[in-house]
Amino acid sequence: MRRFRDIDGLRAAATAAKAEVEGKLAGYSRRRDTMRAQVQPLAAEYDRKRSALAKDPHHAALEALETKLKNNEQSVYALRECEFWCGCACRGVVDVSACGLASYVRPRCCPFRPVPAVVASKGRESDYEAVKAECMKLVTEVNVKAQHAQLVVADTGLLGAAALASGGVMRKA
């Protein structure tokens, strides 16, 4: 309460603080006006260059390619996120052309995250697991038959194997 006893001192301090703030405000206003004056010609030059760039056909083509690239990156990101969270790698895709979304294929695990059909088809093209499994199955069958043929040759001798190979029946002499 002692602070408020000296009212004249408080008024003088408030007047000094007000003068200081008004001086700073005037300085900042001058800076703002100077900056606006410096920025105005630069902004006009920027607008001229931007309009010239918008008229350039190469720029339009690059913009379209950039948009396409962004969409592809978003699709790849969505697939990777799905693989990370679901652990399914989105191999089981379901075609939803019946519901009017013909351009989209949705992964079974993520019904709310559409994936462009191109990305899904590329994934199916590069999915070699089914072909690998089929090849391994055929190789195993061939190996089993080869081993069986070697056992027959070892048991019956070379002549017996030739007779069996020609369709004849092996007879004991």
The residues with which 95 forms a beta bridge, in sequence order, are: 105
Report the distance separating Cα 77 and Cα 79, nearest Å. Answer: 5
Q: Which of 127, 150, 165 is the last residue of a domain?
A: 127
Report the distance separating Cα 58 and Cα 123, nearest Å. Answer: 31
Structural domain boundaries, residue 119: 57-127
Give how many domains the chain has, as a whole number.
3
Q: Which of 31, 55, 79 is the last residue of a domain?
A: 55
Task: State pTM to two decimals.
Answer: 0.34
Looking at the structure, tell me whether residues 146 and 159 fall in a common domain: yes
Looking at the structure, tell me whether residues 94 and 143 fall in a common domain: no
Please say whether the dihedral angle defined by the alpha carbons of residues 49, 55, 58 and 59, taken in this order, is positive or negative.
positive
Q: Which helix or strand (DSSP H or E) is residue 91 part of?
A: none
Contact 116, 75 (CB under 8 A): yes
pLDDT in tens, 7-56: 888 999 999 999 999 999 999 999 999 999 999 999 999 999 999 999 99
Looking at the structure, tell me whether residues 123 and 136 fall in a common domain: no
Looking at the structure, tell me whether residues 67 and 121 fall in a common domain: yes
Looking at the structure, tell me whether residues 82 and 133 fall in a common domain: no
pLDDT in tens, 68-124: 999 989 888 877 776 655 555 444 444 444 444 444 455 555 554 555 555 566 666
